[in-house]
Amino acid sequence: MPERHTIHRLTRDHGKLLVGNSLSVTSPQGRFADAASVDGPRLTNVEAHGKLLFYRWDLGHTVHVHRGPFGRFRRLRPPFPEPREAVRTRVVSKAGGFDSTGPTDCRIVSADEEAGIRDRLGPDPLRSDADPDRFRGRVNRSRAAIGSLLLNQSVVAGIGNVYRAELLFSLGIAPTRTGRELDATAIDALWDLMVEWLAIGVRYNRIITTDPVVVGRIRGRMRRHKRLLVYKKPCCTECGGGIETIALGGRPLYYCPSCQS
DNA sequence: AAGAATGTTATGTA
DNA sequence: CTACATAACATTCT
Protein backbone atom coordinates (compact mmCIF):
# COMPACT_ATOMS: atom_id res chain seq x y z
CA MET A 1 0.00 0.00 0.00
CA PRO A 2 1.18 3.53 -0.69
CA GLU A 3 2.56 5.50 2.21
CA ARG A 4 0.51 8.60 1.88
CA HIS A 5 -2.68 7.53 3.54
CA THR A 6 -4.43 10.23 5.40
CA ILE A 7 -4.96 8.03 8.33
CA HIS A 8 -1.36 7.11 8.75
CA ARG A 9 -0.63 10.75 9.16
CA LEU A 10 -3.54 11.44 11.40
CA THR A 11 -2.63 8.55 13.64
CA ARG A 12 1.02 9.43 13.74
CA ASP A 13 0.35 13.08 14.44
CA HIS A 14 -1.90 12.39 17.34
CA GLY A 15 -0.52 9.18 18.67
CA LYS A 16 -3.76 7.31 18.59
CA LEU A 17 -6.45 6.15 16.34
CA LEU A 18 -8.83 8.97 15.89
CA VAL A 19 -12.32 7.99 16.80
CA GLY A 20 -15.09 10.48 17.20
CA ASN A 21 -18.11 10.54 19.38
CA SER A 22 -20.07 11.62 16.41
CA LEU A 23 -17.68 10.86 13.58
CA SER A 24 -14.64 8.68 13.35
CA VAL A 25 -11.83 7.90 11.01
CA THR A 26 -9.89 4.73 10.68
CA SER A 27 -7.88 2.69 8.22
CA PRO A 28 -7.06 -0.91 7.44
CA GLN A 29 -4.07 -0.51 9.70
CA GLY A 30 -5.98 0.98 12.57
CA ARG A 31 -8.52 -0.93 14.54
CA PHE A 32 -12.05 0.03 13.99
CA ALA A 33 -13.85 -0.12 17.25
CA ASP A 34 -15.67 1.97 19.82
CA ALA A 35 -16.98 4.08 17.04
CA ALA A 36 -19.68 5.69 19.04
CA SER A 37 -18.08 5.78 22.45
CA VAL A 38 -14.72 7.55 22.19
CA ASP A 39 -14.21 11.27 21.82
CA GLY A 40 -12.40 12.39 18.73
CA PRO A 41 -12.41 14.80 15.86
CA ARG A 42 -15.54 15.95 14.17
CA LEU A 43 -15.99 16.72 10.57
CA THR A 44 -17.21 20.29 10.51
CA ASN A 45 -17.47 20.95 6.80
CA VAL A 46 -16.76 19.49 3.39
CA GLU A 47 -16.05 21.93 0.63
CA ALA A 48 -15.89 21.05 -3.04
CA HIS A 49 -14.05 22.98 -5.70
CA GLY A 50 -14.40 21.26 -9.03
CA LYS A 51 -13.50 17.64 -8.52
CA LEU A 52 -11.46 18.31 -5.42
CA LEU A 53 -12.80 17.97 -1.91
CA PHE A 54 -11.63 19.58 1.31
CA TYR A 55 -12.66 17.99 4.57
CA ARG A 56 -12.42 20.31 7.56
CA TRP A 57 -12.00 18.79 10.99
CA ASP A 58 -12.45 20.53 14.28
CA LEU A 59 -8.81 19.69 15.03
CA GLY A 60 -7.97 22.40 12.52
CA HIS A 61 -6.80 20.00 9.87
CA THR A 62 -7.99 20.00 6.32
CA VAL A 63 -7.88 16.72 4.44
CA HIS A 64 -7.65 17.09 0.71
CA VAL A 65 -9.33 14.34 -1.29
CA HIS A 66 -9.02 13.82 -4.98
CA ARG A 67 -10.92 10.74 -6.07
CA GLY A 68 -9.42 10.45 -9.50
CA PRO A 69 -10.93 7.90 -11.84
CA PHE A 70 -10.89 5.13 -9.26
CA GLY A 71 -11.93 6.68 -5.99
CA ARG A 72 -15.31 5.70 -4.61
CA PHE A 73 -17.45 6.57 -1.64
CA ARG A 74 -19.35 3.66 -0.15
CA ARG A 75 -22.21 4.14 2.22
CA LEU A 76 -22.04 2.20 5.45
CA ARG A 77 -24.69 1.06 7.88
CA PRO A 78 -24.08 -0.56 11.20
CA PRO A 79 -22.87 -3.12 11.94
CA PHE A 80 -19.86 -1.71 10.14
CA PRO A 81 -17.79 -4.20 8.17
CA GLU A 82 -14.03 -4.38 8.52
CA PRO A 83 -12.44 -1.86 6.16
CA ARG A 84 -11.26 -3.50 2.99
CA GLU A 85 -7.76 -3.05 1.71
CA ALA A 86 -8.29 0.08 -0.35
CA VAL A 87 -10.14 2.06 2.35
CA ARG A 88 -8.28 5.29 3.04
CA THR A 89 -10.73 6.98 5.32
CA ARG A 90 -13.86 5.98 7.10
CA VAL A 91 -16.27 8.48 8.54
CA VAL A 92 -19.05 7.15 10.74
CA SER A 93 -21.62 8.06 13.30
CA LYS A 94 -23.91 5.73 15.19
CA ALA A 95 -26.34 5.83 12.32
CA GLY A 96 -23.99 5.25 9.44
CA GLY A 97 -21.23 6.72 7.39
CA PHE A 98 -19.01 6.13 4.42
CA ASP A 99 -15.68 4.73 3.35
CA SER A 100 -13.49 6.47 0.84
CA THR A 101 -11.72 3.84 -1.23
CA GLY A 102 -8.95 4.14 -3.76
CA PRO A 103 -8.64 7.92 -4.10
CA THR A 104 -5.70 9.17 -6.13
CA ASP A 105 -4.94 11.67 -3.41
CA CYS A 106 -5.97 11.85 0.23
CA ARG A 107 -3.77 13.84 2.58
CA ILE A 108 -3.62 16.59 5.12
CA VAL A 109 -2.89 19.95 3.58
CA SER A 110 -1.84 23.24 5.13
CA ALA A 111 -3.73 26.41 4.37
CA ASP A 112 -0.95 27.39 1.99
CA GLU A 113 -1.05 24.09 0.17
CA GLU A 114 -4.79 24.34 -0.18
CA ALA A 115 -4.50 27.86 -1.57
CA GLY A 116 -1.90 26.62 -4.06
CA ILE A 117 -4.11 23.80 -5.18
CA ARG A 118 -7.11 26.04 -5.58
CA ASP A 119 -5.22 28.73 -7.42
CA ARG A 120 -4.77 26.26 -10.24
CA LEU A 121 -8.50 25.69 -10.63
CA GLY A 122 -10.76 27.61 -12.93
CA PRO A 123 -14.32 28.63 -12.04
CA ASP A 124 -16.59 25.84 -10.83
CA PRO A 125 -20.07 26.18 -12.41
CA LEU A 126 -21.59 24.80 -9.21
CA ARG A 127 -20.14 27.45 -6.95
CA SER A 128 -21.82 30.76 -6.28
CA ASP A 129 -18.42 32.48 -6.36
CA ALA A 130 -17.69 31.22 -9.88
CA ASP A 131 -16.71 33.90 -12.36
CA PRO A 132 -17.92 32.89 -15.83
CA ASP A 133 -15.80 35.62 -17.39
CA ARG A 134 -12.67 33.71 -16.46
CA PHE A 135 -14.00 30.76 -18.46
CA ARG A 136 -15.07 32.97 -21.36
CA GLY A 137 -11.73 34.73 -21.45
CA ARG A 138 -9.65 31.58 -21.43
CA VAL A 139 -11.70 29.94 -24.18
CA ASN A 140 -11.88 33.06 -26.25
CA ARG A 141 -8.11 33.48 -26.36
CA SER A 142 -7.13 29.86 -26.79
CA ARG A 143 -5.87 28.11 -29.88
CA ALA A 144 -6.43 24.73 -28.25
CA ALA A 145 -9.36 22.52 -29.21
CA ILE A 146 -12.50 23.14 -27.18
CA GLY A 147 -12.52 19.42 -26.45
CA SER A 148 -9.22 19.82 -24.62
CA LEU A 149 -10.17 23.08 -22.94
CA LEU A 150 -13.24 21.60 -21.28
CA LEU A 151 -11.05 18.96 -19.66
CA ASN A 152 -8.51 21.48 -18.47
CA GLN A 153 -9.38 22.17 -14.85
CA SER A 154 -7.73 25.59 -14.93
CA VAL A 155 -10.19 26.64 -17.63
CA VAL A 156 -13.26 25.28 -15.89
CA ALA A 157 -13.28 23.11 -12.79
CA GLY A 158 -15.45 20.04 -12.58
CA ILE A 159 -15.94 18.90 -16.16
CA GLY A 160 -14.80 15.36 -16.95
CA ASN A 161 -14.70 13.12 -19.95
CA VAL A 162 -18.41 12.36 -19.90
CA TYR A 163 -19.67 15.90 -19.52
CA ARG A 164 -17.35 17.33 -22.15
CA ALA A 165 -18.61 14.92 -24.79
CA GLU A 166 -22.22 15.53 -23.83
CA LEU A 167 -21.83 19.31 -23.82
CA LEU A 168 -20.27 19.47 -27.27
CA PHE A 169 -22.79 17.07 -28.74
CA SER A 170 -25.76 18.86 -27.23
CA LEU A 171 -24.61 22.19 -28.63
CA GLY A 172 -23.51 20.77 -31.99
CA ILE A 173 -19.92 21.91 -31.58
CA ALA A 174 -17.15 19.90 -33.23
CA PRO A 175 -14.59 19.00 -30.55
CA THR A 176 -11.64 20.14 -32.65
CA ARG A 177 -12.89 23.68 -33.03
CA THR A 178 -10.47 25.95 -31.26
CA GLY A 179 -11.57 28.15 -28.40
CA ARG A 180 -11.04 31.34 -30.33
CA GLU A 181 -13.14 30.02 -33.22
CA LEU A 182 -16.20 29.91 -30.99
CA ASP A 183 -18.38 32.97 -30.83
CA ALA A 184 -19.62 34.52 -27.62
CA THR A 185 -23.01 32.87 -27.97
CA ALA A 186 -21.50 29.41 -28.12
CA ILE A 187 -19.22 30.03 -25.14
CA ASP A 188 -22.12 31.40 -23.11
CA ALA A 189 -24.22 28.39 -24.06
CA LEU A 190 -21.47 26.07 -22.86
CA TRP A 191 -21.27 27.78 -19.49
CA ASP A 192 -25.03 27.88 -19.03
CA LEU A 193 -25.38 24.22 -19.87
CA MET A 194 -22.60 23.29 -17.45
CA VAL A 195 -24.36 25.19 -14.69
CA GLU A 196 -27.62 23.43 -15.46
CA TRP A 197 -26.26 19.93 -15.90
CA LEU A 198 -23.93 19.95 -12.91
CA ALA A 199 -26.80 21.03 -10.68
CA ILE A 200 -28.81 18.12 -12.02
CA GLY A 201 -25.85 15.85 -11.34
CA VAL A 202 -25.73 16.95 -7.72
CA ARG A 203 -29.43 16.53 -7.29
CA TYR A 204 -29.61 13.03 -8.72
CA ASN A 205 -26.08 11.99 -7.80
CA ARG A 206 -25.58 10.94 -11.39
CA ILE A 207 -24.47 12.37 -14.67
CA ILE A 208 -27.73 12.98 -16.52
CA THR A 209 -27.86 14.91 -19.77
CA THR A 210 -31.19 13.58 -20.95
CA ASP A 211 -34.49 14.47 -19.29
CA PRO A 212 -33.90 13.96 -15.55
CA VAL A 213 -37.60 13.74 -14.86
CA VAL A 214 -37.93 10.72 -17.10
CA VAL A 215 -34.85 9.16 -15.61
CA GLY A 216 -35.91 10.04 -12.07
CA ARG A 217 -39.26 8.35 -12.53
CA ILE A 218 -37.60 5.02 -12.83
CA ARG A 219 -35.47 5.68 -9.78
CA GLY A 220 -32.14 5.74 -11.50
CA ARG A 221 -32.29 2.14 -12.46
CA MET A 222 -32.13 3.11 -16.08
CA ARG A 223 -28.90 2.11 -17.75
CA ARG A 224 -26.27 4.66 -18.51
CA HIS A 225 -27.20 4.98 -22.17
CA LYS A 226 -30.62 6.29 -21.18
CA ARG A 227 -29.06 9.07 -19.14
CA LEU A 228 -26.53 10.17 -21.74
CA LEU A 229 -26.61 11.50 -25.30
CA VAL A 230 -23.37 10.34 -26.94
CA TYR A 231 -20.89 9.02 -24.46
CA LYS A 232 -19.89 5.50 -25.50
CA LYS A 233 -22.79 5.18 -27.89
CA PRO A 234 -22.34 3.29 -31.13
CA CYS A 235 -24.80 5.44 -33.09
CA CYS A 236 -25.97 9.02 -33.06
CA THR A 237 -29.38 9.52 -31.46
CA GLU A 238 -30.06 12.39 -33.83
CA CYS A 239 -28.91 11.25 -37.26
CA GLY A 240 -28.29 7.55 -36.78
CA GLY A 241 -24.75 7.83 -38.08
CA GLY A 242 -21.78 6.27 -36.33
CA ILE A 243 -20.34 7.88 -33.21
CA GLU A 244 -16.59 8.29 -33.40
CA THR A 245 -13.89 8.99 -30.90
CA ILE A 246 -10.96 11.33 -31.09
CA ALA A 247 -8.18 11.57 -28.50
CA LEU A 248 -8.21 15.07 -27.01
CA GLY A 249 -6.61 15.90 -23.73
CA GLY A 250 -5.29 12.36 -23.73
CA ARG A 251 -8.66 10.73 -23.45
CA PRO A 252 -11.23 9.49 -25.92
CA LEU A 253 -13.88 12.04 -26.80
CA TYR A 254 -17.10 10.68 -28.28
CA TYR A 255 -18.78 12.79 -30.93
CA CYS A 256 -20.97 12.67 -34.01
CA PRO A 257 -19.03 13.84 -37.09
CA SER A 258 -22.16 14.86 -38.95
CA CYS A 259 -24.14 16.57 -36.17
CA GLN A 260 -21.22 18.50 -34.70
CA SER A 261 -19.50 21.25 -36.62
C1' DA B 1 -8.05 -11.97 -15.96
C1' DA B 2 -6.30 -8.45 -19.18
C1' DG B 3 -7.74 -4.02 -20.22
C1' DA B 4 -10.36 0.07 -19.92
C1' DA B 5 -11.39 3.75 -17.06
C1' DT B 6 -16.48 9.88 -14.85
C1' DG B 7 -8.29 11.96 -13.76
C1' DT B 8 -4.24 14.88 -12.77
C1' DT B 9 0.57 16.04 -12.71
C1' DA B 10 5.24 16.69 -14.40
C1' DT B 11 7.94 17.24 -18.30
C1' DG B 12 9.15 18.44 -22.88
C1' DT B 13 8.34 21.29 -27.05
C1' DA B 14 6.85 25.08 -30.12
C1' DC C 1 7.88 33.52 -21.25
C1' DT C 2 3.20 31.01 -22.32
C1' DA C 3 0.29 27.35 -23.96
C1' DC C 4 -0.21 22.78 -25.45
C1' DA C 5 0.58 17.91 -25.95
C1' DT C 6 2.23 13.81 -24.22
C1' DA C 7 3.75 10.26 -20.89
C1' DA C 8 3.48 8.56 -16.39
C1' DC C 9 0.98 7.25 -12.54
C1' DA C 10 -2.85 5.07 -10.04
C1' DT C 11 -6.64 1.27 -8.46
C1' DT C 12 -11.03 -0.59 -9.46
C1' DC C 13 -14.23 -2.97 -12.02
C1' DT C 14 -15.72 -5.90 -15.65
Report the 10 Å Cβ neighbour count for A26. 25
Å: A86 CA to B2 C1': 21
CA distance A7 to A106: 9
Residues of chain A with pLDDT under 70: 1-42, 83-86, 92-97, 216-224
Which entry of A3, A12, A79, A82 is annotated as an active-site residue?
Answer: A3
Q: How far apart are the first and last CA of chain A?
A: 47
> Catalytic: A51?
yes
Check residue A48 and give its pLDDT. Answer: 83
Bases on strand C under 7 Å from any protein CB? 3-8, 10-13
Distances (CA, A) of A49 to A26, A117, A123, A128, A190: 25, 10, 8, 11, 19
Entry pTM: 0.84
The SS3 assignment for A137 reads helix
pLDDT in tens, A96-121: 667 777 777 777 788 888 888 888 89
Looking at every residue in chain A, the average pLDDT score rounds to 76
Instruction: Assign 3-state DSSP to chain A and report helix, strand, coil percentages, each to 5.
Output: 30, 20, 50
CA distance A46 to A24: 15
Q: Give the residue from A125, A130, A119, A113 showing the smallest Cα distance to A63.
A: A113
pLDDT in tens, A76-88: 777 777 766 567 7
Residue A92 phi/psi, 5-degree rounding, is -140, 155
Å: A117 CA to B13 C1': 25
